[in-house]
Amino acid sequence: KNQVEQSPQSLIILEGKNCTLQCNYTVSPFSNLRWYKQDTGRGPVSLTIMTFSENTKSNGRYTATLDADTKQSSLHITASQLSDSASYICVVGPYNFGNEKLTFGTGTRLTIIP
Amino acid sequence: SQTIHQWPATLVQPVGSPLSLECTVEGTSNPNLYWYRQAAGRGLQLLFYSVGIGQISSEVPQNLSASRPQDRQFILSSKKLLLSDSGFYLCAWGGGVELFFGEGSRLTVL
């Protein structure tokens, strides 16, 4: 069964600090891995999309890494801001086109405190 | 640019009542459209997707249905809601590996 596991489930850090969120997956076949940010009560917004041949991708203060051999990904947030408080969802796609067979993680709830 | 609209944002309905959630996309033609449900502590679950007008694929058997009467309109319906239908419903459109979500509809069934 395809699975995406994220850790930790929740995280609280001080504003200005860095943090790293983890994602392990057992999805086959594997084509791409995505990170989404979801504010409370809102729809998810894409942060990064990586294919199996990419090791890292950045979007401002967000940097995602991918190790397709160990089936692990991480999302690193630098110099956190209060607006980073949200759930971060890891999503794995088996094909290089289409969104019908995605496997979603349950997310990491990140809280930034001043 | 493309935008996606979803309504209503919040809905409280009694058990056994009907449901209609609507989603429209602007700025693109013939999009692939999706309905997801997000339950607390669980990952997003794909309910329906559509690759064109009148073409609906169901991923999970349930008492919900979907329709696509126009190219950029996607509707989620139920004739009789169950308590278990409560949740956060998200419409999305996608192309390639991109997936863009609406703002969601919070449904509470009492």
What are the tens digits of pLDDT across the range A57-93? 999 999 999 999 999 999 999 999 999 999 999 999 9
What are the tens digits of pLDDT across the range A1-53? 889 999 999 999 999 999 999 999 998 888 899 999 999 999 999 999 999 89
Distance CA B67, CA B80 (A): 16
Q: Is the pLDDT of residue B3 over 80?
A: yes
User: Is residue A83 helix, strand or coil?
Assistant: helix
B33 vs B96 pLDDT, higher one: B33
pLDDT band per the 50, 70, 90 thresholds, residue A95? confident
Q: Minimal Cα distance from B50: which residue of A? A: A100
Long-range contacts of residues A56-63, Cβ cutoff 8 Å, at least 24 apart = A62/A35
Write the CA distances from A68 to A27, A38, A50, A51, integer angstroms.
11, 25, 10, 9
Write the CA distances from A13 to A39, A40, A47, A62, A92, integer angstroms.
17, 18, 20, 16, 27
Q: A17: which 2 tokens? A: 């600090």
Is A106 within 8 Å of B41 when comparing Cβ atoms?
Answer: yes
**Mean pLDDT value across residues B84-88:** 94
CA distance B91 to chain A (A): 9
Q: What is the pLDDT of residue A14?
A: 98
Is B99 within 8 Å of A98 when comparing Cβ atoms?
Answer: no
User: Is residue A98 helix, strand or coil?
Assistant: coil
Is A99 within 8 Å of B102 when comparing Cβ atoms?
Answer: no
CA distance A113 to chain B (A): 23
Q: Is A87 on the interface with B (CB under 8 A)?
A: no
Q: Rounded to 5 degrees, what are φ and ψ at B85?
A: -80, -10
Distance CA A20, CA A24 (A): 13
Distance CA A75, CA A20 (A): 6
Q: Rounded to 5 degrees, what are φ and ψ at A113?
A: -110, 145
Q: Is B58 on the interface with A (CB under 8 A)?
A: no
Residue type, B81: L
Q: Is B104 on the interface with A (CB under 8 A)?
A: yes
Is A45 within 8 Å of B99 when comparing Cβ atoms?
Answer: no
* A13: Cα separation from own chain's centroid: 17
Buried b (16+ CB within 10 A) or exposed e, B21-53: bebbbeeeeebbbbbbbbeeeebbebbbbbeee
- Chain B residues 13-42 within an 8 A CB cutoff of chain A: 32, 34, 41-42
Is B104 within 8 Å of A42 when comparing Cβ atoms?
Answer: yes
